[in-house]
Amino acid sequence: MKRVCIVTGGSSGIGLSIVEKFLTQGYRVFNLDLRPSSEGEFRQCDITRVQEVNRIITEIAREHAVDVLVSNAGIHYSATIEDTPEKDLDKVFNINVKGAYAAIRAVLPNMKANKGGAIILISSDQALIAKQNSFAYNLSKASLASIAKTTALDYARYNIRANAVCPGTIETPLYHKAIDNYCQRSGADKEQVHREEADLQPLGRLGQPEEVAELVLFLASDKASFITGSLQVIDGGYTAQ
């Protein structure tokens, strides 16, 4: 019988690479996203609607033992605290934090009944460090690190592991959108900004979504059976500086 993995936000970027990676390892993968995808078994889902998330995951869990949940859905947002309207703060938290809350809460009864499971949250290097002009995003990603830790402690007795993956600058559509927005506001040259971002990394390049997916797969595997409550940094050395 195939192992089952649920991924939120699996239609692009890191999420899509995670879906593809688990498929290559023989998993049955369910992708919960607003945007359709041909990879995995797509379920259209607004991650900010707790009841909708609960309904979809409960339907999956009724038919399958869920081995892995990857809470990946998220958005980027650049602004200082003064420049962050309440509605934008709510939007960031509804997607990045409440979406994770909804997915984890929905899958836990199944994992408890099956005496095990792996939960991986896609956080950020900003769970460990601060960056300028990143108030709401930084706050939301630090919250995901906290969720990983508390969930790990609360559910260790059920053999449920929870960890957060903390990527640095990864070359995804989200990254390119953020760079495009910055260049539109500032008039900067995109190629130059892209080179500068790469130069900021000790390894001299940006990370790739496939590299993050490899780490997620490891954390979901039996090889990581003694790892829980951890923050796994994959950032080319950025936070070590």
* C-alpha dihedral sign at 218, 52, 149, 206: positive
How deeply is 111 buried, as exposed, middle or buried, from its count of CB atoms within 10 A (0-12, 13-18, 19+)?
buried
- Among residues 27, 77, 101, 137, the one annotated as catalytic is 137
What are the Cα distances from residue 33, in Å, to 18, 126, 228? 13, 24, 26
Q: What is the C-alpha separation between 69 and 6, in angstroms, rounded?
A: 5
Residue 7: beta bridge partners? Answer: 31, 70
Residue 137 annotated among the catalytic residues of the structure: yes
d(CA 84, CA 95): 16
What is the rounded CA–CA span in Å between residue 102 and residue 49?
A: 8
- What is the DSSP secondary structure assignment for residue 45, as one 8-state letter? -
CA–CA distance, 187 with 138 (Å, rounded to integer): 25
CA atoms lying within 13 Å on the CB side of residue 41: 10
Q: Is 116 exposed, middle or buried (0-12, 13-18, 19+ CB in 10 A)?
A: middle
Q: State the catalytic residues.
A: 137
